[in-house]
Amino acid sequence: MIQTIKNHIAEVQAFSSTNKEEIENFRIKYLGKKGLLNDFFAEFKNVPNDQKKEFGQVINTLKNAAQEKVDYLKEALEIKAETKGVYGDLSRPGEVIPLGSRHPISIVKNKIIDIFLRIGFNVSEGPEIEDDWHNFTALNLPEYHPARDMQDTFFIQTNPDVLLRTHTSSVQVRYMENNKPPIRTISPGRVYRNEAISSRSHCFFHQVEGLYVDKGVSFADLKQTLQYFTTEMFGKSKIRLRPSYFPFTEPSAEVDVYWGLETEADHRITKGTGWLEIGGCGMVDPNVLKNCGIDPEEYSGFAFGVGIDRIAMLLHQIPDIRMFSENDVRFLEQFKSVL
């Protein structure tokens, strides 16, 4: 008889169910008025005296095990019912969470970064509030240099040596000060100039500037890099370099890409020429290398810069640069990207 009760204890411990009716039948089987426990208690008087103690212990163990099992399973059912009432059917597929859109500036910036990462450039960043040395003087623009007037600068009135950076070339200066050649880096970021706000210009905009410094770097390397970029970015490989002037490069050039004249929009944005200016470039001036602690007799380099806002306006046919900063959800929802 004792062994029979122990078998029931093992059966009780192994029992599990999420069905309310099955749990109730289990309770009746062991704890009901006509359940097995009552039968075992009734048999107590027939048990030999030397076995009564052990018999009583196993009966109590069976009773406690059966009661605990019933309580546990009923509580689990209640929790499940409560959860279902609050959250619904948890086995159903979840609702699709609407994803936000990337800003067109971020889309274009990430694409540019991805293009240059493929050919060994890394990404460097710097502060938007700069000092005079990194923004001007180190870039061959000493105090009172007339070329400073090319960039209408926001100065901090309490300290004329502090300003909002007018280009991300300041990041390149910082990078050259802290890294030895070979250097191959691009510097994306926001820049500020005191310009009138219109559909084509703003007091802040975004640039990506590139820098390559090593032994034997030539203008041919610069042209090949720019041609690779325009092919990957626009699908157009025909470019031209027009002589220009920048204080921190010599020689310097404007970069034009042949956009074509296939559509009315092409005629409009290229003013009927088919050519479109996308940025500036040139060989790094030896004075800039010297200011940054690099020997211009041993190393040479090239630099270039393109406007992210301008490229975004071209690629997405956006007519007004102010739309980038107005935070109009109807405008932003139109842009999707995996980058």
> What pLDDT, on a 0 to 100 scale, did the predictor assign at position 281?
96
Computed from CA positions of residues 179, 183, 184, 188, in that sequence, does the dihedral angle turn out positive or negative? positive
Q: Taking the C-alpha atoms of 138, 139, 143 and 145 in order, what is their torsion angle to the nearest 10 degrees?
A: 160
pLDDT category of residue 150 using cuts at 50, 70 and 90: low
Mean pLDDT of the chain: 86
In this prediction, residues 157-175 reach a mean pLDDT of 89
What percentage of the chain has pLDDT greater than the value 90? Answer: 47
DSSP per-residue string spanning 128-151: SEEEHHHHTGGGT--TT-GGGGGS
> What pLDDT, on a 0 to 100 scale, did the predictor assign at position 158?
73
In this prediction, residues 73-101 reach a mean pLDDT of 71
In this prediction, residues 215-227 reach a mean pLDDT of 96
Query: Which of 9-23, 185-199, 250-264, 299-313 has the lowest average pLDDT?
Result: 9-23
pLDDT category of residue 84 using cuts at 50, 70 and 90: low
Choice between 78 and 312, residue whose per-residue pLDDT is larger? 312
Flag whether pLDDT at 123 surpasses 60: yes
Decide if domain 104-332 falls under CATH 3.30.930.10: yes
pLDDT category of residue 229 using cuts at 50, 70 and 90: very high
Choice between 128 and 269, residue whose per-residue pLDDT is larger? 128
| 295 Cβ neighbours under 8 A, 6+ residues apart | 289
Which token pair is 69? 């099992």
> What pLDDT, on a 0 to 100 scale, did the predictor assign at position 77?
78
Q: Where in the chain are the domains?
A: 2-87, 104-332
Own/partner long-range contacts of 112-117 (Cβ < 8 Å, ≥24 apart): 112/186, 112/188, 112/208, 112/229, 112/233, 112/306, 112/308, 112/311, 113/186, 113/188, 113/208, 114/339, 115/228, 115/229, 115/232, 115/233, 116/186, 116/210, 116/229
Choice between 29 and 283, residue whose per-residue pLDDT is larger? 283
